[in-house]
């Protein structure tokens, strides 16, 4: 593995991504969403339109981010990693390892996604800080960090899907199906399983099911950070007890994110090494 080669490929991929309208639009969308949700978030409850603090903005933005970040990572990953076949053939013809090429592309794509996410959250957060008090700001930072981790998870999954699909349309469609699975279908399967499960195993099924869905892991971490453990119900309470409290749960969640990142990338690298580029 050549670190310098990975860095150069990542730089090139980063430049390609930040010059594209897709990533720029993503950053602008995030800034607009954070500002808009903070200002109008409570109007549907009859409150006067005004900027909310970081606590309420984080809680209100949670579900939107859980939807937007994964789909952007999957679609951008499909477009990048199944992009110009000639470009991949050119890289493969150089004295570079397949793993170096894959990691460089993935890191460059994630860097672009991270920069746009931070800019979006940062601009929105700056407006909130100027209009309200700074209470809850560090929890907002945790929210941004979890969003970045979730983005990297789905970039890794996009890499695996792209290597498997080998064609851009198939990679994007498969990515969207995976997004829908984690967002909706997975929870339906868990609910169906819990309905037929023995009562003695019901709680274990519920909180262990959280481990199999990166979106659920991210949601749990953010809710714990803003003091919303009650929203997690029995499954979340059991998860906290199992991991030994908030700090240990956060460390365990970080470990789960690492597994969700490393496992797809390892599988993608192994498949990419055996893939015929001709």
Q: For the chain, what is the largest distance between any 2 Cα atoms, rounded to a whole number of angstroms?
A: 63
- The whole-chain average pLDDT of the chain stands at 80
Dihedral over Cα of 209, 210, 213, 215: its sign: positive
* Residue range 49-53: mean pLDDT, rounded: 65
Dihedral over Cα of 114, 115, 116, 119: its sign: positive
What percent of the chain clears pLDDT 70, i.e. is strictly above it? 77
Q: CB within 8 A of 100, min separation 6: which ones?
A: 1, 2, 5, 6, 9
**Selected residue with higher pLDDT from 61 and 107:** 107
pLDDT band for position 120 (cuts 50, 70, 90):
confident
Tell which residue, 215, 147, 161, 150, has the closest CA to residue 186. Answer: 215
pLDDT tops 60 at residue 48: no
Burial class (CB in 10 A: 0-12, 13-18, 19+), 76: buried
User: DSSP letters of 208-240?
Assistant: HHGGG-HHHHHHHHHHHHTT-GGGGHHHHHHHH
pLDDT band for position 167 (cuts 50, 70, 90):
confident
* Residue range 121-131: mean pLDDT, rounded: 81
Residue 63: Cβ within 10 Å count: 12
Please give the structure tokens belonging to residue 255: 């470990």
**How confident is the model over 66-104, as pLDDT tens digits?**
999 999 999 988 888 776 666 666 666 677 788 888 899
What's the pTM? 0.87
Phi-psi region of 46 (alpha: psi -120 to 50; beta: other; left: phi over 0): left
**How confident is the model over 192-213, as pLDDT tens digits?**
887 777 766 776 777 777 778 9
Query: What local confidence, expressed as pLDDT, does residue 45 receive?
Result: 52
**Selected residue with higher pLDDT from 4 and 176:** 176
Q: CB within 8 A of 247, min separation 6: which ones?
A: none
Nearest 5°: phi and psi at 96? -125, 145
**Selected residue with higher pLDDT from 263 and 241:** 263
pLDDT tops 90 at residue 135: no
User: DSSP letters of 154-208?
Assistant: HHHHHHHHHHHH-SHHHHHHHHHHHHHIIIIIHHHHHHHHHHHS-HHHHHHHHHH
pLDDT tops 80 at residue 256: yes
Burial class (CB in 10 A: 0-12, 13-18, 19+), 89: exposed
């Amino acid at each position: 593995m050549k670190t310098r080669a990975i860095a150069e490929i990542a730089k090139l991929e980063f430049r390609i991504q930040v010059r594209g309208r897709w990533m720029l639009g993503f950053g602008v969308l995030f800034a607009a969403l954070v500002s808009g949700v903070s200002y109008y978030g409570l109007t549907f409850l009859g409150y006067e339109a005004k900027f909310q603090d970081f606590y309420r903005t984080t809680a209100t933005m949670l579900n939107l981010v859980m939807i937007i970040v994964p789909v952007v990572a999957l679609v951008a990953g499909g477009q990048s990693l199944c992009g110009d076949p000639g470009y991949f053939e050119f890289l493969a013809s150089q004295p570079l390892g397949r793993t170096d090429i894959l990691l460089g592309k993935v890191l460059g794509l994630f860097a672009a996604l991270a920069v746009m996410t931070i800019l979006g959250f940062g601009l929105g957060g700056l407006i909130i800080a100027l209009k309200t008090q700074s209470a809850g700001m560090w929890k907002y930072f945790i929210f941004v960090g979890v969003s970045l981790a979730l983005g990297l998870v789905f970039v890794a999954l996009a890499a695996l899907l792209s290597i498997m699909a080998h064609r851009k349309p198939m990679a994007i469609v498969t990515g969207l199906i995976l997004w829908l699975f984690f967002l909706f279908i997975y929870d339906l399967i868990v609910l169906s399983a819990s309905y037929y499960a023995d009562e003695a195993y019901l709680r274990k099924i519920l909180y262990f099911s959280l481990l199999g869905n990166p979106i659920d892991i991210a949601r749990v971490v953010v809710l714990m950070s803003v003091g919303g453990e009650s929203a997690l119900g029995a499954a979340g309470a059991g998860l906290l007890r199992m991991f030994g409290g908030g700090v240990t749960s956060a460390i365990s969640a970080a470990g789960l994110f690492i597994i969700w990142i490393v496992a797809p990338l390892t599988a993608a690298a192994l498949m990419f090494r055996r893939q015929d580029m001709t």
